[in-house]
Structures are given as C-alpha cells and as structure tokens.
Amino acid sequence: MPIRKIKILPLIVFFLFGTTNYIASEEYRDLDDIPWEYALTLGDELKYSSNFTHFDYVNPTAPKRGSLTQPAIGSFDTLNPFNLKGVPAMGSYYIYDSLLKNSDDEPFSYYGLLAEAIYHPADFSYVIYKLRDNARWHDGKKITADDVKWSLETLKEYNPNYQYYYSNVSEINIINEKTIEFKFDQSGNRELPLITGQFPILPKHFWSDQTKDFSETILDFPLGSGPYKYAEVQVNKKVVYERVKDYWGEDLPVNKGFNNFDTIIFEYFRDRQVQLEAFKAKEIDIIFENSSKRWATGYDFSARDSGDVKLELFKLKNVQGMQAFVMNLRKPKFQDLAVRKALNLAFDFEWLNSNLFYNQYQRIDSFFDNSELESTSLPDGQEYEILLEISNLIPDVVFNEVYENPIGGSPQNMRRNLREAQTLLMDAGYTIVDGKLIDKNTNKPFVIEFLISQPDMERIITQFQTNLRSIGIEVSIRLVDTAQYQLRMDQFDFDIVVATFPQSLSPGNEQRDYWGSEAADSEGSRNIIGIKDEAIDLLIDGIIFADTRAELISTTKALDRVLKWNYFVVPHYYSEGLRVARWNKFEYSDNLPDYNVNLFTWWSK
C-alpha cells in the first residue's frame, strides 16, 4: 500500500452579511434536506440506534445524592486548563460540554451531546453540526454556533495541543445561530468530522468581558454549561464542584445515569503516602492506586478486614500506551541511536518486578501494547508493503529482526547487557577515564538528570542509576514541585522524564502531536521526545488517511515498529488492570463497560 500524498482542497470564499457572520450559500438554504446523523464512529457500526434511551453500562434510575471525594497530588493556581499558564485545578473540565460524547463500551464512537445532528459528505472534506435548541450556559444564555467557532479558534491560539490536533480545520462557517460548518484542508481523513465534536465549548460572552484574559491564570469561577459548576476553591488545598440542579442536558440519552453525586471534591496532598493516610482516616473516598508496593502492603488495616474498604482490579480492553523513561532528543547526547539503545540495555525490569513490584507488572514492548495495533514477529502483508514504500528512510533491521526488550533479572544477564551497552557507547565516540564515560570530541563526561515531580519514582531510578554508573554514566535525580515540573516540561528543559503516551483503538491526529516533526519545536506540545523523522511523518499521515480498518491497523503496526527500533524511550511496565481502593459507600452497574472506569456513572448508597 503506497503512502499517499495529502489531497489539499481549494478554499471556497463565502460572502458574509450582518454582525453574526452567517453564510449565504445555496448549498445550505434547506437544511432539512440534509441526511443528518445522530452519532459518528470510526468502527464498523454504531452499537446504539438513534432512539436509544441510555447506555447499557449505566443505571438510568440511579439516585442523585451524596458526595465523592478524590485525592489530587501537588498544587494548582488556575481554573483555566486551556492555556499554558499555571497548573489547573483537578476537574476543571467538568463544567463544560462538547458537541459529542463518547460511549465507554465502544472503541471509538461518539453520540450527540450539545449537537442534535451531524452531517459530513462521503469524502470527509467538511462536517456540519446542528446544536440543540435547549442548550444553555449556567447563566441561562443560549449556546450558539458563535460560541463553538470562538472556542476552537481560541483553543488553537493559546494551546499547541489543540493547534496540532485541529491543524486541518481550515475554515469555520456559521450557517445560522444553531448550525456550524468545519471545513478541512484535505479530504479522505475520516477522523476529522468526529474529532471536531470533542473539544470543550466555551462561553464567548464570559471571556469577552474586558476584565477577563483567556491567556492568563484565573481564580474567579469560569462559566460553563456542563453538569457541574464550581462551589468552593481553596488554592492548593481543595476544589468543590456541585451538581447543576437545572442542567439543560439532564434527560439526554447520553446523560441518563450519569452525574449522580451532588458534590465532587478534590482534596490536595503533597505526596501519595500522605494521600494514603488520608484515605485510611476516611478523608477521601477512593484512590486509583499506581504503586505496586502500596497495593500489596499499604491497605492492610481494620476497615479492609471488616469490608468497609474494598480493593478492586478492573480489567479493561484498552490499548496499553507507552510509559517510559523519555530521552530529550533536543540534547545532543541523546541524538545517537546507539546511546539510546545502551540506556535501554542498562534497565533491569526483571529485577525491579521481582524485588520492588511484587511481580505485578508486565514489560511494555509496544507503543500500542495489548491490542491488534501492536507490531509482532516480522512485518508481512500490507504492513510490509507500507514499510517498503519508505525503506530508504528506515534501517534494514526493521525488516529483518523482531524488536525485543533486553532481559535482565540475573547477574549473568545484566553483565552481558552492560557489556553490550558499553561497546555501543565506545563505538559512539565515548571512552572511559577514571571510571567516567567521556565524550572524546568534547572531553566532557556523560551526565544525565532525571526530572520528577513525585518521589515514588526515586527507588526505580536509583536501581537504574546503579547500572548506568557501572558503565560510566553519572546520574542525578531532580525532584521539583508540580508547577516547576510543568513549566520545564512545556519548555522541554530536561534530560530524561517519566512520561506516558495514551492510545486508543482508533489512532489518528493525536499521533502528529506525539511524534510529528512540526510539533517538536512547539512549546507545550506532546512531542516531548523531540522527534523529527520523515518516515514517521509519512506513517502518521498513512494512519490518518487510512481508507479501511485493515489499512489503519497495518499502518499503525508499521509506525509502532519504526518507533521501537529508534529506541526513543526506555519502556516501563504495566499492570493487568486498573487498581481501585475505595470505601464501601458506592454502587455501580453490574454491566461494566470495556473501555473505562467512569465514576460519573457510580452513585452513593
């Protein structure tokens, strides 16, 4: 399958009239003739019909009462999560609605929320959304197409993640007060109509107030339209959201059985050990536990023995995205593939799993692990043909060898791995002087700083540090607060960090932000690695413009394979499920969805 060139569509000039900028076009004079849809999917078909009453995984008659108190780590100084200023409060998105809402028991299907109806042509060159007549902001004003247009334009202006995710939206046209069109600069991208329904819709009239500045931090309560609104904010301590009693979307099928708590509270803690003690004292209700040690030993107390506290493992069918030590390729010392491979050889996952993790983890060996998108064995069929098209841009090893992480766990294995790592470093132009790895060109030692914001990772890095020092690499660990960490991440001011790259079963435009060349130089983007690679850019386009599910899978496998063989990261590990510790004060549906543990569907006993 050849890597196709993008088809660029000519821009169409519309004549505008009046202050509301509605378009005058013969194409839209009779909107009733448009074959509207109620939902969009990237799968084969939608699970729910147009007359569905609620999702199968909710209790549509769940009582609305009680509260849910969750922990948050670190600090916050803004209630605007959409720009790069400050650290936003947990739950900041709760107050907003979007055009579409996803289904948790389908891989990638979205149903109308603010949008009553959707239309796009067969070539996916544009999409039209029609808003619900009763959609309202919390101040009672109507939500209009003007709000939708302003929202995306503003989000793209102030946030690089939105800028790249929606880079193909070339034109936004307001057809009337309740109808809006997004035109794309290319055809054939089947994901674009759907993802334009994902971004939060913001109130233009609120932010147009001269006392408000969208580019700055804000602690005044922002206006929203969603099921919750701010009730109390104590900076760096607590955020309280209250359920909107007259929420406009309460009875929509996509909302039935959701939003069952009267209040949702986030209590802030400086670290996870303090958080655990607060849980035991019943100051918080639930913890999504990310530490194997705490999961194995931290919850042995009387409330668990009596059944007042429950520990549950939720097994989902999601793609396991990459979690890893991420090297910053903007630093010259990490630009040599041999150096990056040497660091991977020095990481002993098997020892960690046995000695620190209570054997609770599996090693990640794919950027799309635990799914049909993962590359395995040697490339063949359509994947082989895709790779052949870019063979001049990728190493031969991609075709001839199966990528495997090194195996440690024993002194013999690690001696072998570290010898190989040292050989690679010598070949890359380094030498050992008095036990230190020295660059022969600059006479400077090889020094790495690991940047972290939580102390949990220190014990893992310390073991890695020991192995790296044995091959001459000097290692330091820098623990900073949340605000400083976020600033340094946004500015790419680090050597190595721990990062995750979440994935779905329908990858698409987000891959540009993760690995695309253009995003590498954009402050605040998710291309924290700094990848600039023509082959990867072509494969990302192949994913975005895949005509069939089979083609999408083959192209994603090819991307996965090329990413792995570049040794951009030192892969970590993942557990078999989502670990949840909670006080026994909640209930949830027996029919759990495959792709999410959604607390908005739970309710108080």
113 pLDDT higher than 80: yes
- pLDDT at 12 (0 to 100): 31
Q: pLDDT by residue (tens digit) across 447-501?
A: 999 999 989 899 999 999 999 999 999 999 999 998 899 999 999 999 999 999 9
Over residues 203-218, mean pLDDT: 94
- pLDDT at 210 (0 to 100): 85
Max Cα-Cα span within the chain: 80
Cite the residue boundaries of each domain of the chain with CATH code 3.10.105.10: 320-416+483-494+502-575
Q: pLDDT by residue (tens digit) across 299-322?
A: 999 999 999 999 999 999 999 999
Q: Residues with Cβ < 8 Å from 53, sequence gap 6 or more?
A: 60, 253, 256
10 pLDDT higher than 60: no
Residue 127 has phi, psi (to 5 degrees) of -140, 145
Domain 16-61+97-207 has CATH 3.40.50.2000: no
Q: What percent of the chain is predicted at pLDDT more than 70?
A: 95
Look at strands 263-269 and 67-73 and give their pairing: parallel
Alpha helix (H) ranges present in 321-476? 337-345, 349-355, 381-389, 397-400, 411-427, 458-470
Alpha helix (H) ranges present in 235-310? 272-280, 292-293, 302-306
- pLDDT at 123 (0 to 100): 94
- pLDDT at 547 (0 to 100): 86
81 pLDDT higher than 60: yes
Query: C-alpha distances in angstroms, 275 versus 83, 212, 285, 310, 390?
Result: 28, 35, 11, 17, 50
Q: Tell me the pLDDT band of 169, cut-offs 50, 70 and 90.
A: very high
Distance CA 260, CA 365 (A): 39
- pLDDT at 1 (0 to 100): 42
Q: pLDDT by residue (tens digit) across 262-274?
A: 999 999 999 999 9
Query: 9 or 71, which is more confident?
Result: 71
Distance CA 435, CA 368 (A): 38
| Mean of pLDDT over the chain | 93
- pLDDT at 33 (0 to 100): 84
- pLDDT at 30 (0 to 100): 73
- Plot region of 432 (φ>0 → left; ψ -120 to 50 → alpha; else → beta): beta
**Are the C-beta atoms of 473 and 448 separated by less than 8 Å?**
yes
Give the CATH architecture of domain 320-416+483-494+502-575: Roll (3.10)
Q: Tell me the pLDDT band of 17, cut-offs 50, 70 and 90.
A: very low
Q: pLDDT by residue (tens digit) across 222-248?
A: 999 999 999 999 999 999 999 999 999
Cite the residue boundaries of each domain of the chain with CATH code 3.40.190.10: 16-61+97-207
- pLDDT at 27 (0 to 100): 53
Angle among Cα 564, 567, 573 to the nearest 5 degrees reads 70
Q: pLDDT by residue (tens digit) across 318-362?
A: 999 999 999 999 999 999 999 999 999 999 999 999 999 999 999
DSSP at 295: I
- pLDDT at 363 (0 to 100): 97
